[in-house]
Chain A
Amino acid sequence: MKLHELTVHELQQKLRRGETTAAEVVESVIGRIDEVEDKTRSYITVLRDSAREEALRADEEIRQGRARPLTGIPVAVKDIICTKGVRTTCGSRILHDFIPPYDATVVERLRGAGALFIGKTNMDEFAMGSSTETSYFGVTRNPWDLERIPGGSSGGSATAVAADECIASLGSDTGGSIRQPAALCGVVGMKPTYGRVSRYGLVAFASSLDQIGPFTKDVEDCAIMMNVIAGYDPRESTSVAVAVPDYTDYLTRGIEGWTVGIPKEYFIGGIDPEVESAVRQAVAVVEGLGARCIDISLPHTDYCLAVYYVVAPSEASSNLARYDGVKYGYRSQESRELMEMYKKTRSEGFGAEVKRRIMLGTYALSSGYYDAYYKKASQVRSLIKRDFDEAFKACDAIVTPTSPTPAFKVGERTDDPLQMYLSDIFTISANLAGVPGISVPCGYTENGLPIGVQFLTSHFEEGKLLQVAHAYEKSSGVEKRRPNL
């Protein structure tokens, strides 16, 4: 196997044993990027030079026996996470030249763990989308079929891992933006509990829903990444001071005696038959591991999409108000007065989907509509959360499909926002309820497209989530394939 094809835990061993060096690993990854990036378009910015320099320091560290958990491991970061001195665009023209003077907390933590930064990945503009087609920097392609989308919004972070253009990556998940592209690209993707991973330095889309999480080649890597990025951050008021266990401890525990819930609302019409059958098979595997699978109900599931498309655009309309051309980023040059500058800057700087959501949110928050939309949605949201609280009284984990369909064709849904929004129908509820979720590969369609299964657990039960995901992964019998690029 080539170095760039290895996992975090495999590379950790090789580096420590002196079987390879960080410099070699980085060269291998850069070589791979040079080889396939034209096809996937995973990256907005590739950090060849600084990654090479960091690799030299990593090798020095290893030689001195001071290796940290991620020393010498090249990781990629979604371009919505601030990196000091490195352009952070959010896939938008309005921030096309924005260079943050600070690191996001997760970036600090990765640095602190010795990781090397290989690049900033492509995404739907401001994380608004499910296909990575709305980026100002072009469309990212699914490595399994370049005619198809990789999912989104963290499409570039998913393809970078799937196409071995990095060893692991970070994305952000507001309504499924990690789990859905993970499923569509055949990798592992996790959205932690709201408050588990610091949002400081994550450019806000919908503040009450956004959460950063890892993309990895297997569940063990996911646990290793979570060990590094999880934890309380005094710079974030919604961060929660719950102790972080060593997540790798959970991996070997098995799930014998567990109760696993299958929500009936998640196996409905509209779901692709190949997806349904793969997920049903996954349920059978889980049962085979000694878990009792029971039917459960999450009665307010039908409202999730509607609630989400009130709450998220409302928060976004306010979060994106700061991009006004005054302080940083794009400013339209032809204005003679203030109002005109605002209008032109924002009209030219934002893409169609972002503008659509700003308008939706502005409307929903308007005086006279607030009670009917935002307030009502917030109330229903607490009912959705209660559904999960109730469900987790009766079961340890919930299993659902991650996405109702495998990857669709580029351009297929761009003219139909509602169809696009349905891509996240199984992932949105976890964001609304704040619970953690993970997508794990569970098979392939006849056409060779990956399918993902989603596991959910209760708040701050990432350990159990990794436990069930790992147990499933080890026994799933899903063949390990690599996309043919």
Chain B
Amino acid sequence: MEYEAVIGLEVHAQLLTDSKIFCGCSTKFGAVPNANTCQICLGMPGVLPVLNRKVVEFTMKMALATNCRINAANVFARKNYFYPDLPKGYQISQYAQPAAEHGYVDVEVDGAKRRIGITRIHMEEDAGKLVHDDVQPWSYVDFNRTGVPLIEIVSEPDIRSPEEAVAYLRALHEILVKLEVCDGNMQEGSFRCDANVSIRPKGSDTFGTRTELKNMNSFRNVQRALEYEIKRQQYLVESGGQVTQETRLWDDSQGVTHSMRGKEEAHDYRYFPDPDLVPVVISEEWVEEVRKTIPELPMQTRERFVKELGIPPYDAGVLTSSPGITAYYEETARLCGKPKVAGNWVMGELLGHLNEEKKDIKESPVKPADLAELINLIEEGTISGKIAKEVFEEMYRTGKGPRQIVEEKGLVQITDEAALAKVIEEVISANPSQLKEYRSGKDKLFGYFVGQVMRATGGKANPALVNSLLKKMLAG
């Protein structure tokens, strides 16, 4: 029997606010343990939460960018459970009336478009972190992360393959980063994902028993974990067994999932509206105000590049893979007026060098204005494409402008016909046997002569001119 996977994803994204969701503490990552804490995020007796309005605004941005409906009144609820990293014994989250519902994002897998539904987006506070002692049988708690704002984005069970799952995650990721509401760092945990997976006979419209996968901290791991889990479930079912509803942890090193806790041990979180917080009322005006601040999203940018600039779809994808690259490319293209050429340079030379050194585009020693000027130098015939690559190397190494480098090194292209003819004459007379062979029909040797001329001019000869002059002069 053929099976299909049914996958739903829960994404947690840390919001990039300066302060925590219910107190004034800093959200900065990497501080000494418990430096970013106060009586409120430590859950001391008698303290009360006050909502950071920026969190609502950031959440609204993401909701609008993913076509969600924003709830006019949204309510914070307490999710009750005991754990040492949860100082109040409950997490302030949202339950019955979340921030936003009924959205979607469109993704593309192997050229096919799919629409993945978003069930809900809600706001909540992050928990702290346990640090286990290497030697002693005890643990420490670091509450720096406690109270850092999160949004949870819950998808519909619309996803049918690991590839679709990753495409959906990448879509959310690039939107969050573009909106500047999340830094998207998966290693530091600012972008985390859990998956609900089940399988069913292809064509069936009922759901199988699902498992929940946790601990996948990269796109690659999401893909691998889902592939493994789908196979595992399929093997179970095909060998006469049954999938049990449980939470499973992905083990990166072993490449398998392990059972963490079963349904019987599942928590009853006893959600109820938090009486310490009043419902957040979101007016139409506020929504419109936030809507105005939403920039063009990566998917829209890609479409525009393809349609208006004639960039191939794959290239458009690369050029929109981060907001920094998009901005760099657009600036370069605007300054030189050659979007396709600019695209090739950014994708080829620039990203090649940056990736090699694992540098962000913001750290590029070559600025868009300089790259645009370099392109202009080629287009106006001042230098050849070949020389341009040399000039780029120098630009990247020294940060100097292209014109300066061309002048300093005397790299200006030779377009003077008489001067070039003189060089060709010398080349021909220095290679009598090759000339003979060429004239007797060995056309291939034309390339040899071009090479010799280029060598003699240090690569500065205008290639088109070399071609036409050579043809004429070799013919005698």
Check B80 against A314 for contact (C-beta < 8 Å): no
Partner of B47, one of A95, A201, A327, A370: A201
Chain A residue contacts of B409, Cβ below 8 A: none
Residue of A nearest to B85 (CB): A326
Answer yes or no: B337 CB below 8 A from chain A CBs: no
Q: Which of B87-109 contact A (CB under 8 A)?
A: 87-90
Contact among B46, B78, B82 for A200, CB-based, below 8 A: B46
The smallest C-beta distance from A248 to any residue of chain B, in angstroms, reads: 29
Total residues of chain B contacting the partner, CB 8 A: 29
Question: Quick one: closest B residue to A104, CB to CB?
Answer: B46
Given contacts A315-B275, A342-B82, contact A201 B46 (CB under 8 A): yes
The answer to the question of A258 belonging to the interface, with a C-beta cut-off of 8 Å to chain B, is: no
Chain A CB within 8 A of B56 CB: no
Cβ of A303 under 8 Å from chain B: no
B272 adjacent to A318 (CB under 8 Å) = yes
Selected interface stretch from B37-45, B228-236, B422-430:
B37-45
Could you mark each residue 43-54 of chain B with 1 if its beta carbon is under 8 Å from any beta carbon of chain A, else 0? 111111111000
- Closest approach, in angstroms, between the C-beta of A192 and any C-beta of chain B? 17
A451 vs B365: C-alpha distance in the bound complex, in angstroms?
85
Confirm or deny: A338 has a beta carbon within 8 angstroms of a beta carbon on chain B. Answer: yes
Least Cβ–Cβ distance between B448 and chain A, in angstroms? 80
Q: Are B46 and A318 in contact (CB under 8 A)?
A: no
Residues 80-101 of A contacting B (Cβ, < 8 Å)? 81-82, 88, 90, 95, 98, 100-101
Contacts of B50 on A, CB cut-off 8 Å?
234-237
Q: A342: nearest residue on chain B (CB-CB)?
A: B82
Q: Tell me the bound Cα distance from A342 to B270 in angstroms.
A: 18
Q: Would B87 and A338 count as touching, CB distance under 8 A? A: no
- Given contacts A324-B82, A365-B80, A100 and B44 within 8 Å (CB-CB): yes
Cα A374 to Cα B78 with chains together (Å): 14
B250 to chain A, nearest CB (A): 24
Which residue of the partner chain B has the closest CB to A202? B46
**Across the two chains, which residue of chain A brings its CB closest to B76?**
A237
CB–CB A88/B45 < 8 A: yes
Contact A318 B47, CB 8 Å, known A208-B275, A324-B82: no
B290 in contact (CB, < 8 A)? no
How far is the CB of B173 from the nearest CB of chain A, in Å?
33
**What is the CA–CA distance of A338 and B141 in the complex, to the nearest angstrom?**
13
A202 contacts across to B, CB distance below 8 A: 46
Question: Whose C-beta in chain B lies nearest to the C-beta of A328?
Answer: B44
Residues of A within 8 Å of B277, CB to CB, are: 237-238
Contact of B272 among A82, A88, A322, A370 (CB under 8 A): A370
Task: Determine how close the nearest CB of chain A comes to the CB of B52; give it in whole angstroms.
Answer: 12
Size band of the interface chain A makes with B: 35 or more
Are the CB atoms of A237 and B278 closer together than 8 Å? Answer: yes
- Partner of A367 from B88, B268, B278 at Cβ < 8 Å: B268
CB distance from A8 to the nearest CB of B (A): 25
CA distance A173 to B87 in the complex (A): 26
Considering only residues 286-322 of chain B, those with a C-beta below 8 Å from chain A are: none
Q: Is the CB of B45 within 8 A of A338?
A: no
Find out whether the CB atom of A237 lies under 8 angstroms from the CB atom of B49.
yes
Q: How far is the CA of A100 from the CA of B44 in the complex (A)?
A: 8
Complex Cα–Cα for A81 and B90 (A): 22
Q: How far is the CB of B406 from chain A (nearest CB, A)?
A: 63
Cβ contact within 8 Å between A322 and B89: yes
Of A90, A237, A324, which one neighbours B51 at CB under 8 angstroms? A237
Chain B, range 247-272, C-beta contacts under 8 Å to A: 268-272
Determine if A332 is an interface residue (Cβ-Cβ < 8 Å). no
Residues of B whose CB lies within 8 Å of any CB of A are 39, 42-51, 78, 80, 82, 84, 87-90, 141, 268-272, 275-278
25 A-B interface contacts by CB (under 8 A): A90-B45, A98-B45, A100-B44, A102-B44, A202-B46, A206-B275, A235-B50, A236-B48, A236-B50, A237-B49, A237-B50, A237-B278, A238-B278, A317-B80, A317-B270, A318-B80, A318-B89, A321-B82, A321-B90, A324-B89, A327-B44, A327-B141, A366-B268, A370-B270, A370-B272
Give the B-binding residues of A (Cβ under 8 A). 81-82, 88, 90, 95, 98, 100-102, 104, 199-204, 206-208, 234-238, 314-315, 317-318, 320-324, 326-328, 338, 342, 362, 365-367, 370, 374
